[in-house]
């Protein structure tokens, strides 16, 4: 029996190529770093995408808000005027307009006409904040014999919106029972008396 023992030389390096399926510590570390970078890039992409979508949605909502017009109008008063022999009152009055929308608007013009009543503004513009009310000076032409039927008077407004666009909107104004009706009753009754005396 041979008493020789195998000696392992620890100074020799194994120069055999690594097996293709084998994983070295450096490879595992590189793969982990790559995974971390991919996850980080994904998270950053999601965050930026979410911010971008949110910005687009906010921008669209702001554009829609700035372009919308919602208002309410009603006769406010009649201050002075005159009449003619045909039973027609020519009077100065006011129309109250409230901005019921979410953005400021500028009312540039207001006109309305139906049998017996004509209304037009005096050329002034009024800036209305959301929820704000302005009194617009108007000229009224009221034919006493037919002005106060049940049909509402459609007032057409020319409005500049917050996005600097001009829009046309209409609002039906009830004349019967309004301040215009009450304040025109006495002059109309006077005209009716004059017409009776003249006939």
* Banded model confidence at residue 48, pLDDT cuts 50, 70, 90: low
Higher pLDDT among residues 85 and 123, named by residue: 123
pLDDT in tens, 70-87: 999 999 998 877 777 678
CB 136 within 8 A of CB 126: yes
Number of structural domains the chain divides into = 2
Higher pLDDT among residues 183 and 86, named by residue: 183
pLDDT given at position 78: 85
Q: Which of 40, 67, 94 is the last residue of a domain?
A: 67
Tell me: do 91 and 182 sit in the same domain. Answer: yes
What's the CA gap between 61 and 63, in Å, rounded? Answer: 5
Tell me: do 82 and 169 sit in the same domain. Answer: yes
Tell me: do 183 and 85 sit in the same domain. Answer: yes
Q: Which of 67, 89, 118 is the last residue of a domain?
A: 67
Residue 105 has pLDDT above 90, yes or no: yes
pLDDT in tens, 144-179: 888 888 789 999 999 999 888 999 999 999 999 999
- Structural domain including 159 reads 69-198
Query: Looking at the domain assignment, is residue 22 inside a domain?
Result: no
Q: What are the Cα distances from residue 82, in Å, to 45, 120, 142, 187?
A: 73, 17, 11, 9
Beta-bridged to residue 127, according to DSSP, are 106
């Amino acid at each position: 029996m041979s008493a020789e023992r195998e000696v392992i030389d620890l100074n020799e390096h194994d120069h055999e190529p690594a097996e293709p399926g084998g994983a070295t510590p450096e490879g595992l570390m590189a793969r982990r770093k790559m995974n971390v970078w991919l996850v980080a890039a994904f998270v950053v992409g999601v965050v930026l995408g979410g911010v971008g979508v949110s910005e687009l949605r906010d921008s669209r909502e702001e554009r829609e808000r700035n372009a919308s017009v919602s208002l309410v109008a009603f006769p406010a008063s009649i201050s002075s005027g005159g009449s003619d022999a045909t039973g027609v009152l020519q009077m100065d009055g006011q129309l109250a307009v409230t901005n019921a929308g979410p953005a400021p608007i500028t009312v540039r013009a207001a006109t309305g006409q139906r049998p017996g009543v004509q209304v037009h503004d005096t050329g002034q513009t009024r800036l209305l904040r959301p929820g704000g009310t302005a009194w617009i000076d108007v000229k009224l032409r009221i034919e006493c014999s037919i002005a106060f039927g049940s049909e509402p008077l459609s007032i057409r407004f020319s409005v500049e919106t917050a996005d600097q666009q001009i829009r046309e909107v209409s609002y039906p104004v009830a004349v019967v029972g309004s301040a215009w009706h009450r304040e025109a009753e006495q002059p109309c009754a006077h005209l009716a008396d004059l017409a009776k005396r003249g006939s």
